[in-house]
């Protein structure tokens, strides 16, 4: 039996795992190539044509090979087998692609006695229609196949994009291989989009033509010409090497480039910075940038589905490629769909973002808060504070500690481009439309932030007062102007004092954001008692029973069993087991009967038993789809459970 | 063949037919009294060296390519043909027009007659025209060798007997496009719809009348990797020699217009074979022939993008070595061929098989 086991951890569809071939265990992501020099690489070759090896390899079956000859051709007991296809045949039309799959399906039946289906790898043809693809993958799945190879021609055009899009429709339990011409600079993107095995053939191809690859470009080595400095061991003897030696040197060097960029990608995945690495690679070439944009546009939901709810402490968002990164777009989408502003607000104060996060910790925001307090005193609670920023759009003060609002890092010049301005304006319009039209909007912003407000102005019903359109919002004069405006408004609007409700507002907003509209009112009803500090922990109790607590570090709520029972009727973020009780501290995918498909890695989830009773709460380790599709792996880390 | 293979074959047929587009209808009516082409080269004739005249008669073209079978995936010979079938007299005029190129030459001479289809197909060349042409050759003492071209199904006992009778004791060879001895390759990759059996029968009929047969072996039809193609050509050479042919003629695929090959080539899904592969097959053939079978290769568009080529730097040396070999059968002409691109070719052999990505 050959088996692919998905391990723990995600950043986008990228994952780690193990490809088990007999007694050999290869850790994925994994590089594959002709070379056997590198222990950690999986070798491939063509059955009957390339020398066989004692270690397990990937063996390609030639189209012309008779199935009865497979055994004598020297197939190793644990070799995986690439099913046969005619090269280029599927490029003719979508029908020939279907035939390419059908032929492989026939082949499975022919050889399943000799080669266990778990060792087979389907070759995914070009041009295949998504629905045909899915239905054939189902057929292969039911025959026990769990691996698919996709072709890359290296142009980063439609062929490569199609392969990535098709891969996004593969069941989570399948191993995905990327074969063909793959430049090192594409490795992070392929890993990010869920490829587990990546071909290094291009390392040899370039070496054969005298090309030395680098992380994000390449260099032609010519004798007598000045070369770049490489400190790797292989390149020590490059000066004056003769042609055949040069090829060897370049092969080894080039392979190392793949090894190093893949390891960089894995490390980035583990620290929640893979998206950032992928974004940074878009500057390698225009093609690289455009395929990345297409990926974001066309398979956003796939990427988002595997993007954890929380991430790195510091999330750099640098260029336009960040505007629709999953963490960012998901924040905007959830805010629009789930967030309800607190009640009793008469003034909406629009503020610029600060470089330091959360905003309240910055010098500028501490001063804004002083100005509000100074002008309104005990009526300060009548003000809804909203921070304008890019590319998140807006951040209500209550949510400033949530991911990624508390973690993103942008070049804060305040010069937004047209897309950023429009993202900001849309978010602001949606927000203001949720508020009473009689509220007064105070725009304490200038420059690009002002542009956002102006772009929104004609589409909102509230009237807007500009405090400081000409000068920086943080200057002493501007803050004076803000304070005067608020003093005037207090008088004009006859603002009444109100007890501070900051804790309720934070917990309610977070609950809605995290569990969906309505959760806030359920978890923090009128009679709830809250205690603690917004910058540390807030505990919410009803009738002395602890319901949930807000953890400032993550900006998220942890539920108690009591809290979970309260929101279980919302029918969200549930995981249903086959068992009556939870045993141990983890729930594994194998024990899960069903799960809410909107669960993302890192979400707070409610565990139900086969009677639909709440039996535990915990943190998800994978997405809802994986909980349903995978047969192994830790799905939930349990925090509280019903003791038996 | 399984259902699926049959469907693959029919998809190739349809695609081959579609690739012709309107090219067949748009063929012009040519001057019916002039051949499509005629040229002379120095060539091996028996054991001596002499002048060989090649004539391409302008006919209506290959029946297989004209039909909705779509014709072969790499062949557009029929575009050299004419939209109107010439009369017997006109065909004879074409022949005589070409023969005038031999006026000043002396023995030994060879004449090779091609059409854009089959010389022995009576729909293309009526039997009276065929016999008139053959008699004219019989009357010319300088001509020692005659090569005709036909699909195997037209190589019938009665016709060959007649040809032998007219040409008397001359060396006769019938060229047939075997292309590949693998039924799968011939039907799926080439769309040439005859089986190996009919080829073997044709060779036997030839032997019976002391008529030699020349197997055209195709190197790299579409839908094969470079190494698939290399191995298939070697196997075909082996099988053709075993069947008893007198000559192996290796044809590396070149990209001809309005063919399925061209369509794939334009999409970057086909690359003509490397000259390294051509040389390897020729070496193999020379070995297998053991000097009892002739081995020739006259690659079209060699060294160009549409023909068999290497890196560009070494192509001229390779092409001239191949021509030299065809003339002398001396395999040592290949010994000095070296180029840096050998490693790229070797990489291609291995990596195309695994990745199924066409390496250009
Ligand atoms: S290769 Fe021969 S049989 Fe095939 S289409 Fe051309 S002329 Fe006709
Ligand atoms: Zn180096
Ligand atoms: Zn070369």
> What pLDDT, in 10s, does the model give residues B65-75?
888 888 999 99
Question: Residue B49 has what pLDDT?
Answer: 86
> What pLDDT, in 10s, does the model give residues A218-228?
999 987 788 89
Mean pLDDT of A491-499: 94
Q: Do B357 and A46 touch (CB under 8 A)?
A: no
Q: Is the pLDDT of residue A36 over 80?
A: no
CA atoms of A172 and A624, how far apart (whole Å): 11
Token code pair at residue A164: 């990535």
> What pLDDT, in 10s, does the model give residues A387-407?
999 999 999 999 999 999 999
Mean pLDDT of A631-637: 93
> Any idea what DSSP says for residue A81?
E
Token code pair at residue B204: 């036997």
B177 in contact with ligand 1, CB cutoff 6 A: yes
Q: Is the pLDDT of residue A278 over 90?
A: yes
Q: Is the pLDDT of residue A242 over 90?
A: no
Distance from B52 to chain A by nearest Cα, in Å?
Answer: 39
Nearest alpha-carbon partner for A424 in A395, A388, A448: A388
CA atoms of A90 and B267, how far apart (whole Å): 12
Q: Do A91 and B267 touch (CB under 8 A)?
A: yes
Given the CA of residue B71, which atom of ligand 1 is nearest to it? 5
B86 in contact with ligand 1, CB cutoff 6 A: no
Asked whether the beta carbons of B20 and B13 are under 8 A apart, the reply is no
Distance from B63 to chain A by nearest Cα, in Å?
Answer: 25
Given the CA of residue B179, which atom of ligand 1 is nearest to it? 1
Only one residue has tokens 């160009």, namely B304
Which residue among A46, A49, A181 sits closest to B357, beta carbon to beta carbon? A181
CB contacts of A62 in chain B (<8 Å) are 228, 353
> What pLDDT, in 10s, does the model give residues B171-206?
999 999 999 999 999 999 999 877 889 999 999 999
B196 in contact with ligand 1, CB cutoff 6 A: no
Given the CA of residue B63, which atom of ligand 1 is nearest to it? 8
CA atoms of A59 and A69, how far apart (whole Å): 14
Give percent above pLDDT 70 in chain A. 100
What burial class does residue A236 get, using C-beta atoms within 10 Å of its C-beta: 0-12 exposed, 13-18 middle, 19+ buried?
A: exposed
Question: Residue A313 has what pLDDT?
Answer: 84
CA atoms of B139 and B142, how far apart (whole Å): 9
Strands (E), A292-449: 315-316, 347-352, 383-389, 393-396, 408-409, 440-443
State the pairing for strand pair A120-123/A80-82.
parallel
> Any idea what DSSP says for residue A14?
B
Enter the pTM of the model. Answer: 0.94
Nearest CA to ligand 1 atom 2: B117
> Any idea what DSSP says for residue B27?
P
Asked whether the beta carbons of A21 and A79 are under 8 A apart, the reply is yes
Quick check: helix, strand or coil at residue B60?
coil
Q: Which chain B residue's Cα is nearest to A110?
A: B2
Task: Give me chain A's average pLDDT, please.
Answer: 94
> Any idea what DSSP says for residue A179?
E
Q: Which chain A residue's Cα is nearest to B186?
A: A64
Domains of chain B (ranges; CATH) run 3-355 (3.20.20.70)
CB contacts of B262 in chain A (<8 Å) are none
Helix H or strand E segment including B148: strand B143-149
Asked whether the beta carbons of A197 and A177 are under 8 A apart, the reply is yes
Distance from B39 to chain A by nearest Cα, in Å?
Answer: 37
Which residue among B4, B188, B228 sits closest to A102, beta carbon to beta carbon? B4
CA atoms of A153 and A160, how far apart (whole Å): 6
Domains of chain A (ranges; CATH) run 2-303 (3.20.20.105), 339-492 (3.40.50.10630), 502-641 (2.30.130.10)
The residues in A 474-503 lying below 8 A from B, measured between CB atoms, are: none
Quick check: helix, strand or coil at residue A526?
coil
Chain B residues interacting with chain A (CB cutoff of 8 angstroms)? 2, 4-5, 7-8, 11-12, 15, 182, 184-185, 188-189, 222-225, 227-228, 231-232, 264, 267-270, 340-341, 343-344, 346-347, 350-359
B154 in contact with ligand 1, CB cutoff 6 A: no
Task: Identify which of A331-335, A578-582, B59-63, B324-328 has the greatest average pLDDT.
Answer: A331-335
Q: Which ligand is nearest to the CA of B178?
A: 1
Asked whether the beta carbons of B212 and B173 are under 8 A apart, the reply is yes
Question: Residue A514 has what pLDDT?
Answer: 97
Question: Residue B193 has what pLDDT?
Answer: 79
Distance from B296 to chain A by nearest Cα, in Å?
Answer: 27
Give the model's confidence band at A488: pLDDT under 50 very low, under 70 low, under 90 confident, else very high.
Answer: very high
CA A304 to chain centre: 5
Q: Name which of A25-34, A305-314, B17-26 the model is least confident about.
A: B17-26
Distance from B268 to chain A by nearest Cα, in Å?
Answer: 9
> What pLDDT, in 10s, does the model give residues A436-452?
999 999 999 999 999 99
Asked whether the beta carbons of A520 and A550 are under 8 A apart, the reply is no
In this structure, which residues have their CB less than 5 angstroms from ion ligand 3? B 310-311, 313-314, 339, 341
Q: Which chain A residue's Cα is nearest to B263?
A: A92
> What pLDDT, in 10s, does the model give residues B69-92?
889 999 988 777 777 889 999 999
> What pLDDT, in 10s, does the model give residues A334-382?
999 999 999 999 999 999 999 999 999 999 999 999 999 999 999 999 9
Orientation of helix B157-167 relative to helix B127-138, angle to 10°: 30
Q: Do A180 and B347 touch (CB under 8 A)?
A: no
Q: Is the pLDDT of residue B321 over 80?
A: yes
Tell me, yes or no, if A215 comes closer than 8 A to chain B by beta carbon: no
Orientation of helix A201-208 relative to helix A243-270, angle to 10°: 150
Tell me, yes or no, if A211 comes closer than 8 A to chain B by beta carbon: no
Asked whether the beta carbons of B309 and B315 are under 8 A apart, the reply is yes
CA atoms of A386 and A388, how far apart (whole Å): 7
Mean pLDDT of B249-265: 97
Tell me, yes or no, if A210 comes closer than 8 A to chain B by beta carbon: yes
Tell me, yes or no, if A45 comes closer than 8 A to chain B by beta carbon: yes
Q: Is the pLDDT of residue B24 over 90?
A: no
Sheet containing A347-352: which strands, arranged edge to edge? A393-396, A383-389, A347-352, A440-443, A463-466
Question: Residue A468 has what pLDDT?
Answer: 82
Q: Is the pLDDT of residue A73 over 80?
A: yes
CA atoms of A5 and A31, how far apart (whole Å): 17
> What pLDDT, in 10s, does the model give residues A110-154?
999 999 999 999 999 999 999 999 999 999 999 999 999 999 999
Asked whether the beta carbons of A428 and A394 are under 8 A apart, the reply is yes
Question: Residue B303 has what pLDDT?
Answer: 96
Q: How many CB pairs under 8 A join A and B?
A: 111
CA atoms of A630 and A595, how far apart (whole Å): 12
Residues recorded for chain A = 644
Nearest CA to ligand 1 atom 7: B117
Question: Residue A284 has what pLDDT?
Answer: 93
Q: Which chain A residue's Cα is nearest to B357?
A: A180
Residues paired with B54 in a beta bridge: B39, B112
Nearest alpha-carbon partner for B184 in A123, A120, A62, A50: A62
Q: Which of A61, A87, A177 to mutate to test the interface with B (most CBs of B within 10 A)?
A: A87
Asked whether the beta carbons of B65 and B71 are under 8 A apart, the reply is yes
Question: Residue A505 has what pLDDT?
Answer: 97
CA atoms of A52 and A81, how far apart (whole Å): 13
């Amino acid at each position: 039996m050959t088996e692919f086991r998905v391990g723990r951890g995600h950043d986008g569809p990228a994952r780690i795992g193990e490809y088990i071939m007999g007694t050999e265990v290869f850790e994925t992501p994994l590089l594959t190539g002709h070379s056997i020099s590198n222990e950690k690489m999986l070798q491939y070759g063509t059955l009957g044509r390339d020398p066989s090896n004692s270690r397990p390899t990937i063996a390609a079956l030639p189209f012309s090979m008779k199935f009865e000859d497979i055994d004598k051709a020297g197939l190793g007991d644990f070799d995986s087998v690439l099913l046969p296809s005619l090269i280029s045949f599927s490029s003719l039309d979508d029908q020939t692609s279907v035939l390419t799959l059908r032929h492989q399906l026939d082949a499975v039946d022919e050889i399943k006695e000799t080669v266990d289906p778990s060792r087979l790898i389907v070759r995914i043809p070009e041009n295949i229609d998504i629905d045909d693809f899915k239905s054939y993958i189902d057929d292969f799945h039911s025959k026990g196949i769990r691996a698919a190879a996709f072709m890359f021609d290296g142009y980063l055009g439609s062929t490569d994009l199609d392969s990535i899009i098709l891969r996004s429709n593969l069941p989570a339990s399948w191993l995905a291989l990327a074969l063909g011409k793959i430049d090192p600079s594409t490795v992070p993107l392929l890993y990010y989009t869920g490829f587990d095995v990546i071909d290094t053939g291009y390392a040899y191809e370039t070496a054969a033509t005298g090309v030395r690859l680098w992380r994000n470009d390449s260099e032609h080595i010519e004798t007598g010409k000045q070369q770049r400095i490489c400190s790797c061991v292989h390149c020590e003897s490059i000066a004056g090497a003769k042609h055949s030696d040069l090829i060897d040197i370049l092969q080894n060097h080039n392979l190392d480039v793949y090894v190093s960029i893949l390891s960089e990608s894995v490390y980035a995945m583990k620290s929640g910075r893979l998206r950032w690495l992928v974004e940074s690679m878009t500057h390698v070439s225009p093609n690289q940038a455009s395929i990345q944009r297409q990926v974001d546009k066309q398979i956003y939901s796939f990427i988002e589905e595997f993007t954890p709810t929380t991430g790195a402490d510091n999330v750099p968002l640098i260029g336009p490629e960040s505007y629709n990164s999953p963490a960012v777009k998901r924040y905007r989408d959830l805010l629009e769909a789930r967030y309800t502003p607190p009640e009793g607000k008469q003034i909406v104060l629009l503020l610029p973002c600060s470089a330091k996060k959360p905003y309240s910790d910055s010098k500028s925001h501490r001063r804004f808060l002083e100005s509000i307090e100074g002008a309104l005193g005990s009526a300060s609670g009548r003000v809804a504070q909203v921070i304008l920023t890019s590319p998140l759009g807006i951040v209500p003060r209550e949510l400033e500690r949530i991911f990624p609002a508390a973690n993103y890092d942008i070049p804060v010049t305040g010069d937004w481009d047209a897309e950023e301005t429009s993202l900001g304006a849309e978010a602001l319009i949606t927000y203001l439309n949720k508020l009473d039209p009689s509220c007064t909007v105070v725009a304490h912003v200038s420059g690009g932030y002002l542009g956002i407000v102006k772009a929104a102005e004609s589409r909102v019903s509230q009237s807007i007062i500009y405090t400081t359109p000409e000068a920086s919002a943080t200057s002493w004069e501007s803050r004076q102007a803000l304070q005067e405006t608020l003093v005037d408004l207090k008088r004009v609007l006859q603002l009444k004092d109100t007890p501070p409700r900051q804790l309720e507002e934070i917990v309610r907003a977070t609950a809605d954001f995290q569990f969906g509209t309505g959760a806030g009112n359920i978890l923090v009803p009128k009679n709830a008692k809250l205690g603690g500090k917004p910058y540390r922990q807030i505990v919410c109790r009803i009738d002395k029973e602890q319901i949930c607590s807000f953890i400032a570090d993550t900006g998220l709520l942890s539920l108690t069993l009591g809290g979970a029972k309260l929101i279980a009727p919302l029918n969200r973020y549930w995981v249903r087991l086959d068992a009556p009780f939870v045993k141990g501290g983890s729930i594994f995918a194998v024990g899960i009967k069903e799960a809410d498909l909107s669960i993302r890695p890192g979400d707070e989830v409610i565990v139900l038993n086969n009677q639909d009773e709440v039996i535990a709460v915990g943190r998800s380790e994978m997405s809802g789809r994986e909980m349903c599709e995978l047969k192994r792996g830790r799905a939930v880390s349990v925090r509280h459970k019903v003791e038996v | 063949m399984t259902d699926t293979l049959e469907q693959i074959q029919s998809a190739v047929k349809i695609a081959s037919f579609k690739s012709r587009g309107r090219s067949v209808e748009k063929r012009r009516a040519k001057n019916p009294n002039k051949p499509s082409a005629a040229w002379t080269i120095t060539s091996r004739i028996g054991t001596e060296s002499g002048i060989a005249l090649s004539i391409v008669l302008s006919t209506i073209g290959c029946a297989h390519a004209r039909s909705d079978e779509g014709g072969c995936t790499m062949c557009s010979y029929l575009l050299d043909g004419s939209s109107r079938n010439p009369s017997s007299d006109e065909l004879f005029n074409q022949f005589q027009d070409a023969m005038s190129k031999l006026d000043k030459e002396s023995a030994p001479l060879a004449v090779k007659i091609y059409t854009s289809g089959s010389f022995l197909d009576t729909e293309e060349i009526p039997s009276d025209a065929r016999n008139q042409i053959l008699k004219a050759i019989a009357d010319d003492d300088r001509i020692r060798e005659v090569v005709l071209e036909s699909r195997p199904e037209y190589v019938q006992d009665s016709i060959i007997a007649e040809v032998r009778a007219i040409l008397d004791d001359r060396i006769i060879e019938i060229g047939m496009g075997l292309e590949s001895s693998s039924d799968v390759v011939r039907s799926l990759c080439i769309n040439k719809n005859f089986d190996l059996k009919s080829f073997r029968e044709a060779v036997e009929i030839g032997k019976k009348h002391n008529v030699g047969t020349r197997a055209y072996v195709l190197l790299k039809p579409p839908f094969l990797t470079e190494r698939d193609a290399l191995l298939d050509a070697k196997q075909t050479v082996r099988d053709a020699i075993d069947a008893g042919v007198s000559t192996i003629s290796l044809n590396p695929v070149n990209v001809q217009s309005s063919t399925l090959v061209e369509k794939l080539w334009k999409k970057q899904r086909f690359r003509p074979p490397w000259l390294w592969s051509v040389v390897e097959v020729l070496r193999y053939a020379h070995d297998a022939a053991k000097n009892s079978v002739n081995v020739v290769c006259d690659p079209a568009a060699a060294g160009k993008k549409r023909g068999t080529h290497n890196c560009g730097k070494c192509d001229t040396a390779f092409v001239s070595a191949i021509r030299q070999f065809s003339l002398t059968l001396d395999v040592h002409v290949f010994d000095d061929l070296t180029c840096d691109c050998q490693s790229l070719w070797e990489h291609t052999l291995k990596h195309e098989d695994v990745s199924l990505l066409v390496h250009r």
